[in-house]
Structure 1
């Protein structure tokens, strides 16, 4: 799978759609850890998510997490059901 790397400021240019497989349950714990890393250590997380134009990868700080979304800088929300992979 080829994943295009984009700047977090460009996420709004893409229509985010659900991933083929909903990984919400499997990735929730990892996203909670990413939120802690972002808030306490200003550490960045790599998030791969699905768009109409194919998967995109962004390196960013996770500010908050709800049951449906992860929030990054500038109030940008990425639906959990669209996230394919999380690394830090």
Structure 2
């Protein structure tokens, strides 16, 4: 799996940028499932997203999903266009 593992609390240290390939459409169902897993079962998923420092990976629960962002703990938002992968 690509991406350097970081703690979700470290996300603010990085500038999140769009991924090389926009995967929003292909990841939409996985994101919906990730939100359900987080809300109903408190299950974590691995999320890989693009930053100026290269891909970063976090393991967290997805609290909510909008048309443009996923929200994780503490109100942290990650733009969907920056997502590279979502794995259960």
CA, structure 1 residues 74+22, in 2 after alignment: closer, same or farther (shift >3 Å)?
A: same
Give TM-score, length-normalised by structure 1. Answer: 0.97
Matched position secondary structure for 1:19: coil
C-alpha RMSD of the superposition: 1.0
Write out aligned runs for 1:9-88 (5 A). 9-88=9-88
Give unmatched runs, 5+ long, in structure 2: none
Matched position secondary structure for 1:16: coil
Tell me how many residue pairs correspond in the alignment.
88
Residue pair 2:2, 2:48 contacting (<8 A) in 1 also: no
Q: Deviations over 1:24-59 (max 9, x none)?
A: 000011000000000000000100000000000000
Which runs of at least 4 in structure 1 moved beyond 4 Å after TM superposition?
none
